[in-house]
Amino acid sequence: MASISAGLALGTDAVFAQDEETNVQNLPPVEVVAPAAAPRQARQRGPTREVRQVRPRTRVYVYPTTPGTSASVDVDKVPASINAVDSNQIRRTRSPDIADALQQYVPGLSINEVTGNPFQPDVQFRGFVASPLAGTPQGLAAYQNGVRINEAFSDIVNWDLIPTAAIRSATIVTNNPAFGLNALGGAVNLQMKDGFTYHGAEVDIMGGSYGRIQGSAQWGKQVDNWAVYGAVEAAHDNGFRNFSSSDVRRFYGDIGYRFEGTEFHLNGGLANNFLAGPSTVPAELLQQYWGATYTTPQTIANKVGYLNLTGKVEATPTWTFDGTAHVRGFSQKTVDGNPTDTERCSVPAGFLCFGDDTTPAFGLNGLQLPDPFAPDAILSQIDRTGTRSTTFGVSGQGTNSDQFFGHENRFVIGATYDVSSTRFNATSELGTVGENYVVTGSGVFLGRSGVPTSIGPVSLRTVNQYQGLYVLDTFNVTDRFSVTAGGRFNAARITLHDQLGTALNGDHTYNRFNPVIGGTYKITPEVTAYAGYSEANRVPTPLELGCADPANPCLIGQFLISDPPLKQVVSKTVEAGFRGTKELNIGSLGWKIGGFRATNHDDILPIPIPGLTGFGFFQNVGSTRRQGIEAEVSLKSNVLQFQASYAFLDARFLDALQVGSDSPFADADGNIQILPGNQIPRLPRHLVKASVEYAVTDAWKVGGDALFVSSQYFVGDESNQFPKLPSYTVFNLHTFYQINETFQIYGRVNNVFDNRYSTLGTFFDTDDVPNFTSGGAAFSDPRSLSPARPRAFYAGLRARF
């Protein structure tokens, strides 16, 4: 089998920065060294001597099969769906968020703005989620240059921290347990640029609607065996909703050295972002004003700094070793204005109660709080959290390409170790809400209150230790038929240390081996069939373990109360399909069609508590199933770029369950009954995508894209009784003109027809806060929606040097 060097430079020596050419469904090319032939002896008089043959190199397209850099295999031998997005497609979206490019170009992947911020979307793929919102069950792993970037405390993925301009390629790896924890539905695998793959300099500046101003600059250079790359990005957006301004600042850099099969990189990044997260808003307010918000402030401050050292050594012609050592520091502070369950006591008068009018609300000193508010004040609260995590990790991997019984074979063995320490704090300040739905704090903080205790200050230290050992082998039975088998053993230990008492103390261990087996068959040189089976797991997060007692509910994602055990989630997936490519006179044609079925066992969901707004607990809820079909066709040439896809998803509960809900169909106790076969909310069943770009001239290109998302059930309507959130279709247009070799101007119109739609819906307690737009009457519509951005215009200038 050929030796694959996935990070080799293929860039040009031209002075100007060049766009990297990709093919075979948007994968960047790599160099391949042909197998070494047996040395031959030259005929000559005297002692014989060996004549060394030069091993030819060629370019192929490979796909990652492990987080390491040297384990990619020929794309035709991957027993799973192929989903890739290249840097040209990322740039075409003109978005500082990689999630926008993933939604546009990956079948079955969609996003919604559950936080109400365009820089922090939920990414949903095959019914699994990678979300920045704490408390969301995370079913996708995320990797950047081989390092897992799901945050330690709650496995969230902060898309705003990823330096989009520095991404060389993004792949969605499915049906592969080698990517470790949380890869139930797959792994988002991001490979970054370096000075070997990117040469030159580029500056990009754009501005437009809603105060959007963004810019990026990147530079890469190779000098002999050394290479350097750097990228900086900044964006400001006022938002189309009240109190929704955001600022994003990011940096990424890489220094590399390469010599005769040995390659080392030191790369790292920084980000400092301030984001407004206005979240969902009652439908009645949206009917009055599309930019409305509900109970602000709602802000998030994210900071990150990370440093990675990677190395790769071609020890022999058939053995390659690579390793990574990394450190990551993450900080998040949230401020969230909310309705409160604090109310005035009936007895004793002049004091505050919690949950009802007789249960005392205590202060930080343990005494019942007197009522300091005006008689007509509407009580509310400002919840604040602080999370600081430090993660250290190392990984190592060996790849062998020796033949096995005369057949090509690729064997990979690897190990990972990560340890994270997190400090989490939470407080709740009582306040009042005004007619603009702004919550004003009073300086009065809640102590541990409620029966059972459900709110109060939290100070928690957690330690996560994750270890993994994986093995994969791809064996060519024939030139057409390849078999892949292997697995990964995951070991996790999570300890919780309560800094204010003992209720949160806990020590939890989880172990599991996840197998994989699959095969590919090349029906013709242009058509490949694939099939595979795999298992994956995720362990409960410290956040979930700290809020898993139904007798002691907590404010989901914020106030942790107790530490009962939870089972790990295990997903068993089978997928199969066909894919192919064909070179036509008009360009390269690519297509694929496939199906999948994933069954989760001991799935974990947040369970709301009736009568306590925002309160609940995490619980294993039995089995759930996600199955579907994905199809895509693409055409790529110098004149035309076209891509269209369709995805069907059927996601259902398999076991009966009773949960609390603000649904109007809840019973007198505030519960709804989930029955086997009920669909899982917030997951659309149909996704249709299309994008096209046409070169009118060599310098001028125009294009557009369209997205159709079918209806979906509201979060909180797990019993499927309430009418669905309506489907929506959105169209976008773009164009650019290459003035000369250096300068390019471009423009983009998003949501061309100014469609007013919502990407997510849930329910809220209509009695919490009055509807000030109707004279202070109670809300009558229980729907709370996440509104999408109206029509927006953008224009920019790109310069390459």
What is the pLDDT at residue 565? 78
**Does residue 52 carry a pLDDT above 50?**
no
Scanning 175-329, the segments in alpha helix (DSSP H) are 283-288
**Does residue 484 carry a pLDDT above 90?**
yes
Q: 54-83: string of b/e by CB count within 10 Å (b at 16+)? A: eeeeeebbbbbbbbbbbbbbbbbbbbbbbb
Q: What is the pLDDT of residues 743-799, one digit of tens each?
A: 999 999 999 999 999 999 999 989 889 999 998 899 999 999 999 999 999 999 999
What is the pLDDT at residue 41? 45
User: DSSP labels for 427-469?
Assistant: EEEEEEE-TT-BEEEEEEEB-SBTTTT-B--EEEEEEEEEEEE
What is the number of other CB atoms lying within 10 angstroms of the CB of residue 683? 21
**Distance of CA 598 to CAs 332, 517, 535, Å?**
33, 15, 9
Distance CA 175, CA 787 (A): 34
Helix (H) or strand (E) holding 99: helix 98-105
Residues in Cβ contact with 596 at an 8 Å cutoff, skipping those fewer than 6 apart:
81, 126, 174, 175, 573, 574, 575, 626, 627, 628, 630
Residues 603-607 have a mean pLDDT of: 88
Distance CA 30, CA 529 (A): 23
Give me 24's structure tokens.
């075979």
What is the number of other CB atoms lying within 10 angstroms of the CB of residue 501? 10
For every residue of 348-388, which 3-state class applies, written as one string?
Answer: CCCEEEECCCCCECEECCCCECECCCCCCCCEEEEEEEEEE
Q: What is the pLDDT of residues 703-736, one digit of tens each?
A: 999 999 999 999 999 999 999 999 999 999 999 9
Residues 49-73 have a mean pLDDT of: 64
Distance CA 267, CA 546 (A): 35
What is the pLDDT at residue 20? 62
What is the pLDDT at residue 9? 37
Q: In what order do the strands lie in the sheet with 615-620?
A: 554-555, 615-620, 604-608
DSSP 8-class letter at 98 = H
Distance CA 68, CA 477 (A): 25
Percent of the chain with pLDDT over 90: 76
What is the pLDDT at residue 710? 97
**Does residue 35 carry a pLDDT above 60?**
no
CB 120 within 8 A of CB 132: yes
What is the pLDDT at residue 16? 57
Q: What is the pLDDT of residues 162-180, one digit of tens each?
A: 999 999 999 999 999 999 9
Residues 76-90 have a mean pLDDT of: 92
State the pairing for strand pair 141-144/187-192.
parallel
User: DSSP labels for 398-419?
Assistant: EEE---BTTB-EEEEEEEEEEE
Give me 64's structure tokens.
């990652």
The residue to which tokens 């347990």 are assigned? 177
What is the number of other CB atoms lying within 10 angstroms of the CB of residue 766? 19
Q: What is the pLDDT of residues 328-360, one digit of tens each?
A: 999 999 999 999 989 999 988 899 999 899 999
What is the pLDDT at residue 615? 75
CB 131 within 8 A of CB 159: no
More confident residue, 24 or 212: 212
Distance CA 404, CA 410 (A): 9
Confidence category of residue 501, pLDDT binned at 50, 70, 90: confident
Give me 278's structure tokens.
């206005």
Q: What is the pLDDT of residues 551-592, one digit of tens each?
A: 777 766 655 555 567 899 999 999 999 999 999 998 999 999
Q: Single out the residue of 412, 403, 572 nearest to residue 476, CA to CA.
A: 403
Give the SS3 label for residue 506: strand
Residues in Cβ contact with 120 at an 8 Å cutoff, skipping those fewer than 6 apart:
113, 132, 133, 158, 159, 160, 275, 277, 300
Reduced DSSP (H G I as helix, E B as strand, rest coil) percent helix, strand, coil of the chain, to 5: 5, 55, 40
What is the pLDDT at residue 537? 96
CB 393 within 8 A of CB 431: no
Residues 589-605 have a mean pLDDT of: 95
Residues 47-64 have a mean pLDDT of: 55
Residues 151-158 have a mean pLDDT of: 94
DSSP 8-class letter at 600 = E
Confidence category of residue 278, pLDDT binned at 50, 70, 90: confident
DSSP 8-class letter at 324 = E
Residues in Cβ contact with 592 at an 8 Å cutoff, skipping those fewer than 6 apart:
25, 81, 82, 577, 578, 579, 580, 630, 631, 632
**Does residue 69 carry a pLDDT above 80?**
no
CB 767 within 8 A of CB 781: no
**Does residue 126 carry a pLDDT above 70?**
yes
CB 284 within 8 A of CB 774: yes
Confidence category of residue 283, pLDDT binned at 50, 70, 90: very high
Helices and strands, number each (H, E), in the chain: 4, 48
**Does residue 234 carry a pLDDT above 50?**
yes
The residue to which tokens 């369970």 are assigned? 607
Residues in Cβ contact with 21 at an 8 Å cutoff, skipping those fewer than 6 apart:
29
Q: Taking phi first (over 0 means left), then psi (-120 to 50 degrees means alpha), and beta for anything else, what does residue 26 get?
A: left
CB 499 within 8 A of CB 560: no
Residues in Cβ contact with 797 at an 8 Å cutoff, skipping those fewer than 6 apart:
204, 205, 206, 743, 744, 745, 746
Largest Cα separation within the chain, whole Å, is: 114
**Does residue 124 carry a pLDDT above 70?**
yes
What is the pLDDT at residue 598? 97
**Distance of CA 139 to CAs 184, 232, 403, 419, Å?**
5, 30, 37, 20
Confidence category of residue 451, pLDDT binned at 50, 70, 90: confident
Distance CA 62, CA 10 (A): 14
**Distance of CA 532 to CAs 574, 594, 677, Å?**
6, 11, 26
Distance CA 472, CA 641 (A): 35
Amino acid identity, residue 84? Answer: A
Averaged pLDDT score across all residues of the chain: 89
DSSP 8-class letter at 118 = T
Q: Single out the residue of 385, 386, 426, 463 nearest to residue 152, CA to CA.
A: 463
**Distance of CA 735 to CAs 690, 696, 697, 703, 797, Å?**
16, 10, 12, 6, 12
Say how many Å lie between the first and final Cα of the chain, rounded: 39
**Does residue 599 carry a pLDDT above 90?**
yes
Residues 148-166 have a mean pLDDT of: 95
Q: 292-331: string of b/e by CB count within 10 Å (b at 16+)? A: bbbbbbbbbebbbebebebbbbbeeebebbbbbebebebb
Give me 717's structure tokens.
């309507």
What is the pLDDT at residue 734? 97
Q: What are phi and psi of 498, to 5 degrees?
A: -70, 125
What is the pLDDT at residue 19? 64
Give me 710's structure tokens.
């079918």
Confidence category of residue 74, pLDDT binned at 50, 70, 90: confident
Q: Single out the residue of 236, 306, 231, 234 nearest to residue 275, CA to CA.
A: 236
CB 510 within 8 A of CB 568: yes
Helix (H) or strand (E) holding 102: helix 98-105
